[in-house]
Amino acid sequence: MKMFTNNSLLSKLTFAVTFSLVTIGLSSNLKAQEVLTIQDAIDRMLNNNLNIKQSSLNVATSAVNLEQSRAALYPTLSAGIDNNFNFGRSLNPATNELISQKFYQGTGSLSTSVDLFGGFAKLNQIRQNKILLAAGNSTLDKTKNDLILQVVTAYFQVVFNTDLLKASKEQLLVAAETQRREQALLEAGNKTLADISQAKAQAATAELNVTTAQNQLTISYLTLSQLMEMGPDSESYTVVKPTIKDIAQAQKSYDVNDVYNTSLSFFPDVKLAQLNREAAEKAVDVAKGAAYPKLSLGGSIGSQYSFILGQRSPLSTPDAALSDQISNNFSQGVQLSLRIPIFNGLTIKSNVKKAKISYEGSKISEQLTKNNLNKVIAQAVADLRAADGKYKSNEKTFNAQKDAFNVIEQRYAVGLVNSLDYNTSRTNRNKAEVDYIQSKYDLLFKSKVIDYYLGKQITF
């Protein structure tokens, strides 16, 4: 039975698929102006990421706070100049006369004071600010550490999606060739319309897989670029893929306690929690200092002068020379001040209680941080073990499905296997390939996660 066909349309479809795949590959190479290793990506993120820059500014603020608290120990020094114009009957302080004329009065002073004792509040504030500065640096380290893990995750996602797109393109070429072959057999009367429809469906699915894989790759590039604070051209670079040797050499077994104890000594999250607890402890001492008497010493010097404005009264005393007025009115003073807090609405007592509560909370937060780190590391070690088993299983499955498909393909070419069995075998092989690609990169990624908790440099 003669079936309606369109050889020209099929030829155009096959050519379009092949040409588009080649074009995509060429355009990708043209765009690949830069090749980034995983360490390059991490370094670029550390240099450009805005979250890190913001955290660095917070550290600078903490340094200023420490500097200011140290300066608070020094005596204060201030100078003052007052200018007064008097009208009507008033006392001229410079001459101690009661006059009714307009006159100008000037006063100058210099004063200083220093706290001799204040319950060690200032010293404890300095100690607390030292700890807060160290905590700020730990926060910066934590920000960097968190972003490093995000970059590693995004980098591996790019690598995986790159291989997935490559596999999808190869599968599309096979599907297009199968459709062409089915069309030729249909024209020869050896296939039915159902066979060609199934081949078209397989080709359409393969084309959709390429589109999906391309979109996933674009998104993964965009995610990595955003972490590195790069421009809008998210595919202006390519990444270095790990080799099978890298995967084979990756350590696949760790002791949870060894990893945890190593991580405990340097991990920024734990260090930050420890410093926050120490700062909260010092805050209690600062609050207690407000309950002690405060003793301060002060001193001042000053002088004043005046002169009459306008017409002088015949009975008024002539203005003395400016130098004489300053010398005659020169004054000095020393003050010793003692302030004892007796009752202030329980403010001091309440502040001490709140500081103690915060301190207890910081101890709990520190322990929670350690517990969470132990939990995360235990999960990471278990995930690595599972990933190793999954990789080995998927590798065997893929090799078996690939060999099986090669046999089926040869038998299909000579008509010994129907299209249903052929398509089933090809689908199984394609799925096994995707699972294998995913599992090999997942294994290496999970191994690098353990390196991350051990403080090792992440490279391959």
Q: What is the CATH number of the domain that holds 419?
A: 1.20.1600.10
Given pLDDT bands bounded at 50, 70 and 90, which one contains residue 312? low
Describe the strand order of the beta sheet including 331-339 as a list of residue ranges. 76-86, 103-117, 294-308, 331-339
| Containing structural domain, residue 455 | 242-292+348-460
The rounded distance, in Å, linking the Cα atoms of 58 and 62 is 6
76 - beta bridge partners?
113
The rounded distance, in Å, linking the Cα atoms of 420 and 435 is 23
Asked if residue 418 belongs to a domain, the reply is yes
Domain count, the chain: 1
Asked if residue 1 belongs to a domain, the reply is no
Q: What is the largest CA-CA distance in the chain?
A: 142
Across all residues in the chain, what is the average pLDDT? Answer: 87
Asked if residue 369 belongs to a domain, the reply is yes
The rounded distance, in Å, linking the Cα atoms of 121 and 282 is 10
Asked if residue 403 belongs to a domain, the reply is yes
User: CB of 432 within 8 A of CB of 401?
Assistant: yes
Give yes or no for residue 294 having a pLDDT over 80: yes
The rounded distance, in Å, linking the Cα atoms of 49 and 58 is 15
Alpha-carbon separation of residue 323 from 16, 56, 108, 285, 319 (angstroms): 102, 55, 13, 52, 11
Asked if residue 330 belongs to a domain, the reply is no
Given pLDDT bands bounded at 50, 70 and 90, which one contains residue 314? low
Asked if residue 250 belongs to a domain, the reply is yes
The rounded distance, in Å, linking the Cα atoms of 314 and 454 is 95
Asked if residue 431 belongs to a domain, the reply is yes
**Paired tokens of 361:** 């909370």
pLDDT at 280: 97
The rounded distance, in Å, linking the Cα atoms of 291 and 132 is 24
Asked if residue 314 belongs to a domain, the reply is no
Given pLDDT bands bounded at 50, 70 and 90, which one contains residue 316? low
Alpha-carbon separation of residue 305 from 69, 84, 300, 328 (angstroms): 39, 11, 17, 9
